[in-house]
Structure 1
Amino acid sequence: MSKSGFGQIYRQLSSKLLDLVVTPHVLGEVPTEPTTTEVNSQTEQPVQQKVVCYVLQNYSRSNALIVDGETRRLKLSPALDPLVVGDHKEKASILFLQHHDENNLLNSPPHAFPPRLLRLIEILEHHPQVDIELIPVTVLWGRSPDKEDSWLKLLFTDTWATPGTVKQLVNIGLHGRQSYLEFHQGQSLRQLIEFAKQTHPNLSPATYILNKLNNYLDGQREVVLGPDLSDRRNVMHSLIKSTDVQDAIRRESIRGKISMIEAERRAIGYLNEIVSDYSHSAVRFADMALTRLWTQLYDGVEVHNFSTVRELAKDYEIIYTPCHRSHIDYLLLSYVIYKRGMMVPYIAAGDNLNMPFVGQLLRGGGAFFIRRTFRGNGLYTTVFKEYLFNILSRNTPLEYFIEGGRSRTGRLLPPKTGMLAMTVHGHLRGRSKPIVFVPTYIGYERLMEGATYVGEMNGKDKESESIMGILKTLRKIERIFGQVHVNFGEPVFLDDMLKQHGAENIKIAKNDDPIPQEVSDTVNSAAHAILENINRAVVINPVSLLSLILLATPKHTLDEEICIKQLDVYRKLLTGLPYDARTQVTPLSGKEIIAYGLKLKLIKRVKHVLGDIIAIEDNQAVLLTYFRNNILHAFVLPSLIAALVEHNGSIRRGDLINVIRTLYPFLKAELFLKWKKDEELKDQICAYAEALIQAKLISEDSEGNLVSPAPNSEDHNQLVVLAAPVMQSLERYYMTLALITQRGSGNISTRQVEELSHLVGQRLSVLYEFNSPEFFDKSLFQSFIKVLTQQGYIRNNEDNAIVFDENFQNVAQYANLVLDDVTLQMLQHITTFSDEELKEALDAVAAQQAKRRLKRKKK
């Protein structure tokens, strides 16, 4: 038998054996085959022939067989078929960058050029009509990115070291089902040669191409494996010996009048409290456990726009900045990232989750723990910032929640910029890769913490996390929680934000150097951009749509046929005029959405001879406000247009635009809306008005005025339902305006208005069954007052009291264009206090706050 015939049999037999134990996961997009021959349309002669050659970094027969098997399965040019160009023939269409000379194992120079690469370059010089498409390929066995605490992991999983024959055999046996293969973007060998000659005339083309392809594949490998990490003990040792931490230890020794040894012991204690203990075994355990959990808990985990992340990971350090809706967020996002072949990020977790067993599991999955406040503890601050700087220096992906804590209302919370500021600070101390923030929307259809949130939204104190609380939550595993959606939003590039504020050239030398004002402005702008981009990636699911419609009706009920029509109108509005290109809308029809809500037991059907009625299930109304608030920002402009047209019967377009322009800064601050310029806003208002005309919810008269349908008609009732979502925001605004106006200029402080608004809001919600958690959310009142100040409607005098002029009172009058007389009178009545009543109310608030502080101290 000939040598080539034996080689074919050997290859086929090896492939069959590998097929039994290896099932590679193909990541990313599969390359398209290049056109084999391009023909000149006039001469009908071939112009250029293109052949494919796959590029692997290290010599490995098993890797070559895996690539060959996958190329055949995917109907691409087979990797181990001969590469033929003219009369030249290579044994295989595969190129190893680290050459392996089978005939000279001992004396082969370590940095020799791959002979096949040299031959291919020479072929192109003699065949100008030919090009060779180089397709780099990454093959990984197992996915351990660490070299920590276990020699077994070091021996048996894929790391940055090239495996020997024995280890590769073990890899195949142990990780055959956990192998990963990714085809990368093809590169023209001819173009690489020409570029090398133009830009690097002193280098041979082979040197340039070898370096470029090696660097490219190193970058791709890092995307999946992450950087080469040291073990936890060594990380802690390097941190404690760093100059900045040693300086902080000396300051702690002097300030606290303790020995250097004791001060260093404190610093080590802080590091033990903070530092992650990333473990591949913990990640693999979590992978198996969470796969089972999602299967039992959810109907599916839908992921959108992940291709954005994959592309960014090649050139940027990624910092995932998701919204925070549930404790599940930590696990869910890491699971989604891991399952798509990328390194699990290090996660900044609140120290309230550092509980026995649970804390260690989270730490093993990449969590590091952070205290809620650093105030008054300089040593802890320095230690934490140094650890964060260490993570950034190694280009490790990060994840933290820009809101700080979980939202109890379903809205995005105002940003907590501490972690963001420390990230920017660390980046300016020593830049490696540029940083990109990836805003991420997470949308649920039911919440594991739902019952707890309802209590907190009704004014109860927040429950502390505990093992018992987790066990109670786990009892709900058999319940169905619908689908969960993860949508990756438009990225925010840190360097772009720094440039906007003139901070691109600022350098920070030391851990404790203050942040200049330009950098502080960058942090605030980046935080708001991240939140706006989270909202732009909103997923409109069936539960949120049902909640939006049914909560807009007086008794939370609606005739089934009308409900179906309303759902279809909303879907048509969202698909025809989406909030953003990344917004996802449920494909279910109105009828299917109702069936889905019944399945989740969030709504019920009440049988009636004149037509069935759809109603919110008992005790679900408050919880459904949460899901309504997830999508409120996507409807607020059409809702405001509907409210203005319906309330006034007819309104000029110019008046409509002027009123919305006046109210928009408050809505933007509250809902993190995306429109920034007046013209952009005006165009959007006009577009929504046209969409509502097309939907026959409003009409246009001969003079161009927008007109409401006839009262009590079906179209009018639909318009009223659409108008409802914005009303509670406007009622809150008017309530706060009424409180300030009623006390008079210079007679009440900002803090007192915030406390009083919160107190009155709670009373309003109970008395008038608003079923809205917004009236318990103090941050919304704080945001409104902040915007009033920014817009120049109010200011604080030297006594810290609010002062205003008639311009402020004009804003309050806009309420007449939206709110009916009954609502205005009710709000006016509930916000009227005598001096004695005001003092009594504020004293009660102060006493309640003191009681809560005492309770927290005892814990």
Structure 2
Amino acid sequence: MPSLFGLDRPLLHAVSKLLYLWSRPRVLPADAAQLGLKPELPVIYVLQQRFLPNTLLLNEEAKRLGLPSPLGSLTLDGMPRGRSFFFLARPEPWLSRARPRHSSLLTALVDRACRQRDFDAQIVPVTILWGRAPDKKDSIWKQLFSEDWANRGTLKQMITLVLHGREPLVRFSEAVSLHEVIGDTCDHDTSLRRINRVLRRHFREQREMAIGPDLSHRRTRISDVLAAAPVQAAIEAEARAQGGSPEARAKAERCAREYAWEIAADYSHPVVRVLDRLLTWLWTRLYDGVAVHRFDTVGEVAQGQEVVYVPSHRSHIDYLLLSYVVYHRGLMVPHIAAGANLDLPVVGGILRRGGAFFLRRSFKGNKLYAAVFNEYLHMMIAKGYSIEYFIEGGRSRTGRLLEPKAGMLAMTVQSFLREPARPIVFVPIYIGYEKLFEGRTYIGELMGRPKKKESLLDLLLSVRELKKNFGKVHLNFGEPVRLPDILDAAHPGWREEPQPDEDRTEARPAWLGKSIERLMRRLSTGINAAAVIGPVNLVSLALLATPRHAMDAHQLVRLLDAYRRLAAALPYSPQTQLTGMDGAAMLDYCESLKLVQRQPHPLGDIIHFPPEEAVLCSYARNNVLHAFATPALVASIATRHAAMTRGDLSALSATVYPFLRAELFLRWSAAEFDGMVQAHADALAGTGWLARQEDGRLAPPSLNSEQYVQLNLLGQAIRPTLMRYFITLATMTRRGSGSLTPAELESLCHLQAQRLSLLREFNAPEFFDKAIFRTFIATLGKTGFASLDDDGRLRFDERLAEAAALARFVLPPDASRAILQMTQ
């Protein structure tokens, strides 16, 4: 190691060893190949600020990644230089702040590039951050000397190293081409300023990704919101509605300020660090692990773009878990749109300081509140905050995705159209729990108990759950969705269009509504595409299909292996993750979680759900039901026919698909779906679950074979869904066209499904969930099977009766007879 900072080689070596006794750096990326460096070009590293420990970390971690040494020799214009790195800024000794200066090495590089036009160098920015480690961060000193936006002198850097040096973050970024930055025309001073500007912007973006934008005081941000033209216009309108007097104007302004205080977050780095330590302890107590998949997709889009995280909403844990994962991977904590019901005493203040901003469930009839909230959201987007919200509106009680709500998405789109300089990219995220914290509460609500309002007491009582084991949690980051691409597809000329009026939904152009609908669909299908199919999901899928939720252990293991092979042969999407366990390992794992019980028997052990777990496991099955909907539909149809042509299979599947697609957010168009049906039919034939006859028809295996039993169980996974459709169609045809409103039909179907569930022992309250019937009824309108008359009643023609008649081709005879008898 050559001399550095005035220290000779032996002393530098000793200092480096001492530093690594104290520090355990976290390095991104873990593989140098991701940087895409060209071996024929020189590599020059740049650090933001001159600090000896940063230089030593850079040297050691570059060597560990197999990169060229930053302390290696570099020759420019025939003159050797003792190092191949420089600092963007250097602090004055000890107490003063860092001031930007032009490095002599950078100056020499620019000088040569201007004289020798084919010369190029790869400048690799390296960001090193201290103070983001998860342990022991609750002292006032650690809070004062953690990473923030203030410039640091050498003394403050040294104190930060002592307090926060256990786990520094070292991020190597993609190289900046010197030739590309300078361009074809070269003026030395202009080029030097340009490359410095590019590097300063890069380090600022990296710091924003890690700790968030440079925040001003909450009071200042609220003042900026109130001073904005749309809010002032709303205040004036409110004042005029109250008489237009100065007193009315003052009252409207006070009301707007109260709204802003009610909404605004109060982000605090010290609180985030304390929460980080608390959550590290909490996850250790609650879960066997938090598995994160495909997070690299976020890192690829975060720099230079506004990131909106759109996770599935299964639990209150979602808020904390996603923020924790993002923070621990070196990006800024997203600001979370939280329901006003969570703004509880004490808890609300903590959540605000963790980045939560609150919104009411409805803005209807309150234009002033809507204007304040819209402006606050726009301010966050314009300033580069990453944001998180749940497009489902509320937590799913069944495990399926809920119908997305347009509210937050529409406001985000309109904010972008107002100021489209910074692109917005949405990241759909699947969150899957093996055991759900609120599971028993959800069951009660589905059974008809009123939803309990959140309270501080309930939160304190939930501490009792900490002694239980909730298995693993999976977060899978789906394919990012760029908002400009959605707008381009809907209306290529959107950039030249005047800004839509935020306050008048009816004034929105058709292309904007179409864009929001397309965006909702893309995000919902993107969440489902990122599903994680784990052992609990597959065991639940298999056992819940049996009449008594019980099965021979050896048969269950073989069925689980078959399901896994089927999912591996035809993955639902490229983003879907599949467990690597075989059937026996899956069963052992679920036994260890006490989700299933084994009853010994001389003829073979029986695996069954304990009574209290069967309903809870329906949630885990529903998380991944969409991934098995197509093969299950093929299986359900196949078991109703001695033999069938591929054309018959296509026709029957096509009739059902619009409703399955709407309920389960399946990812294929109608044309694509037929191809998937045929592919799954071939896959089932490959497993022996279907037979290809000489005339090309498909037939199920022998009724006495294990393959038939497995095929029938696979079909059973989708039959409750098909039965709900038949309940609705049978009820409509029995009552007649124009006899029911959508709300009346929804309520009637809910009661009939509830009764059928009790009679047939489905033991799954999600079977009669009103929201699922609501989606199906809405889809009947969208597909043209029904329409509303002037009185708001459902009208339909003979096509609906024809669709109902198809039930005999997809449902078992006893099931269709039971529904027809009940709907008479």
Mapped contact 1:441–1:486 kept (Cα < 8 A):
yes
What is aligned with 1:721?
713
Shift of 1:555: 0.7
Residue 734 (structure 2) pairs with residue 742 (structure 1): yes
Shift of 1:828: 0.8
Mapped contact 2:478–2:529 kept (Cα < 8 A):
yes
Deviations, residues 167-199 of structure 1 (Å, cap 9, x unaligned)? 2122212221253210111344xxx32663426
Letter matched to residue 230 of structure 1: S
Residue 356 (structure 2) pairs with residue 370 (structure 1): no
Q: 1:822 aligns with which of 814, 818, 823?
A: 814
Deviations, residues 693-748 of structure 1 (Å, cap 9, x unaligned)? 11111111001111101112111101110110110111111111111101122222
What is aligned with 1:631?
624
Mapped contact 1:498–1:504 kept (Cα < 8 A):
no
Shift of 1:51: 3.6
Mapped contact 2:142–2:163 kept (Cα < 8 A):
no
Shift of 1:75: 4.6
Question: Relative to 1, partners in 2 of residues 1:71 and 1:374: Cα closer, same or farther, differing over 3 Å?
Answer: same
What is aligned with 1:433?
422
Deviations, residues 559-578 of structure 1 (Å, cap 9, x unaligned)? 11110000000000111111
Q: 1:52 aligns with which of 43, 60, 81?
A: 43
- The alignment-based identity, stated in percent, is 43
What is aligned with 1:45?
none
Question: Is the partner of 2:452 in helix, strand or coil?
Answer: coil
Structure 2 CA distance, aligned partners of 1:2 and 1:541?
54
Structure 2 CA distance, aligned partners of 1:456 and 1:159?
44
Shift of 1:335: 0.4
What is aligned with 2:348?
359
What is aligned with 1:698?
690
Of 697-706 and 236-245, more deviation after overlay is shown by 236-245
Structure 2 CA distance, aligned partners of 1:802 and 1:128?
74
What is aligned with 2:235?
249
Shift of 1:499: 1.4
What is aligned with 1:837?
none
Question: Is the partner of 2:487 in helix, strand or coil?
Answer: helix
What is aligned with 2:532?
539
Question: Relative to 1, partners in 2 of residues 1:86 and 1:237: Cα closer, same or farther, differing over 3 Å?
Answer: closer
What is aligned with 1:322?
311
1:103-122 equivalent positions in 2, closer than 5 A? 113-121=102-110
What is aligned with 1:686?
678
Shift of 1:113: 3.4
Deviations, residues 307-331 of structure 1 (Å, cap 9, x unaligned)? 0000100131000000000110001
Shift of 1:789: 1.7
1:304-703 equivalent positions in 2, closer than 5 A? 304-502=293-491, 503-508=494-499, 512=503, 514=505, 515-678=508-671, 680-703=672-695
Structure 1 CA distance, aligned partners of 2:38 and 2:549?
66
Shift of 1:18: 3.2
Question: Relative to 1, partners in 2 of residues 1:100 and 1:457: Cα closer, same or farther, differing over 3 Å?
Answer: closer
Mapped contact 2:469–2:593 kept (Cα < 8 A):
yes
Question: Is the partner of 2:717 in helix, strand or coil?
Answer: helix
Structure 2 CA distance, aligned partners of 1:9 and 1:311?
40
Structure 2 CA distance, aligned partners of 1:386 and 1:799?
39
Question: Is the partner of 2:45 in helix, strand or coil?
Answer: strand
What is aligned with 2:248?
259
What is aligned with 2:784?
792
Deviations, residues 242-288 of structure 1 (Å, cap 9, x unaligned)? 23223322332333456333222222221221110111111111111
Deviations, residues 45-76 of structure 1 (Å, cap 9, x unaligned)? xxxx5443211233333322221232244453
Question: Is the partner of 1:620 in helix, strand or coil?
Answer: helix
Unaligned regions of 5+ residues in structure 2, if any?
134-138
Q: 1:781 aligns with which of 773, 789, 792?
A: 773
Of 16-25 and 806-815, more deviation after overlay is shown by 16-25
Structure 2 CA distance, aligned partners of 1:804 and 1:330?
43
Question: Is the partner of 2:260 in helix, strand or coil?
Answer: helix
Structure 2 CA distance, aligned partners of 1:424 and 1:199?
39
Question: Relative to 1, partners in 2 of residues 1:2 and 1:408: Cα closer, same or farther, differing over 3 Å?
Answer: closer
Question: Is the partner of 1:56 in helix, strand or coil?
Answer: strand
Letter matched to residue 26 of structure 2: H
Question: Relative to 1, partners in 2 of residues 1:130 and 1:432: Cα closer, same or farther, differing over 3 Å?
Answer: closer
Residue 750 (structure 2) pairs with residue 761 (structure 1): no
Structure 2 CA distance, aligned partners of 1:663 and 1:199?
63
Deviations, residues 550-592 of structure 1 (Å, cap 9, x unaligned)? 0101111111111000000000011111101110111111001
Structure 2 CA distance, aligned partners of 1:510 and 1:786?
28
Structure 2 CA distance, aligned partners of 1:741 and 1:433?
53
Residue 81 (structure 2) pairs with residue 90 (structure 1): yes
Structure 1 CA distance, aligned partners of 2:35 and 2:320?
40
Mapped contact 1:36–1:51 kept (Cα < 8 A):
no
Structure 2 CA distance, aligned partners of 1:3 and 1:493?
46
Deviations, residues 455-486 of structure 1 (Å, cap 9, x unaligned)? 11222211211122212222111111111000
Shift of 1:786: 1.8
Shift of 1:214: 2.9
Question: Is the partner of 1:320 in helix, strand or coil?
Answer: strand
Shift of 1:390: 1.0
Structure 2 CA distance, aligned partners of 1:321 and 1:422?
14
Q: 1:237 aligns with which of 218, 223, 239?
A: 223
Question: Is the partner of 1:177 in helix, strand or coil?
Answer: coil
Deviations, residues 76-97 of structure 1 (Å, cap 9, x unaligned)? 3332343356953212221223
Letter matched to residue 585 of structure 1: L
Mapped contact 2:490–2:514 kept (Cα < 8 A):
yes
The number of equivalent residue pairs is 809
Question: Relative to 1, partners in 2 of residues 1:509 and 1:719: Cα closer, same or farther, differing over 3 Å?
Answer: closer
Deviations, residues 286-306 of structure 1 (Å, cap 9, x unaligned)? 111111111111111000010
Shift of 1:342: 0.4
Of 414-423 and 134-143, more deviation after overlay is shown by 134-143
Shift of 1:100: 7.4
Unaligned regions of 5+ residues in structure 1, if any?
39-48, 145-149, 833-859
Question: Relative to 1, partners in 2 of residues 1:265 and 1:722: Cα closer, same or farther, differing over 3 Å?
Answer: same
What is aligned with 2:24?
23
Question: Relative to 1, partners in 2 of residues 1:748 and 1:221: Cα closer, same or farther, differing over 3 Å?
Answer: same
Of 532-541 and 615-624, more deviation after overlay is shown by 615-624
What is aligned with 2:209?
223
Structure 2 CA distance, aligned partners of 1:707 and 1:510?
58
What is aligned with 2:136?
none
Structure 1 CA distance, aligned partners of 2:209 and 2:36?
30
Question: Relative to 1, partners in 2 of residues 1:334 and 1:223: Cα closer, same or farther, differing over 3 Å?
Answer: same
Deviations, residues 732-785 of structure 1 (Å, cap 9, x unaligned)? 111111111011222222222122111212222222222223333222112212
Mapped contact 2:657–2:670 kept (Cα < 8 A):
no
Question: Relative to 1, partners in 2 of residues 1:156 and 1:128: Cα closer, same or farther, differing over 3 Å?
Answer: same
Shift of 1:225: 2.5
TM-score (norm 1): 0.89
Letter matched to residue 762 of structure 1: Q
Shift of 1:820: 2.3
Letter matched to residue 85 of structure 2: I
Shift of 1:507: 3.8
Structure 1 CA distance, aligned partners of 2:179 and 2:90?
20
Question: Relative to 1, partners in 2 of residues 1:711 and 1:110: Cα closer, same or farther, differing over 3 Å?
Answer: closer
What is aligned with 1:66?
57
Letter matched to residue 515 of structure 2: T
Structure 2 CA distance, aligned partners of 1:154 and 1:566?
54
Structure 2 CA distance, aligned partners of 1:277 and 1:581?
39
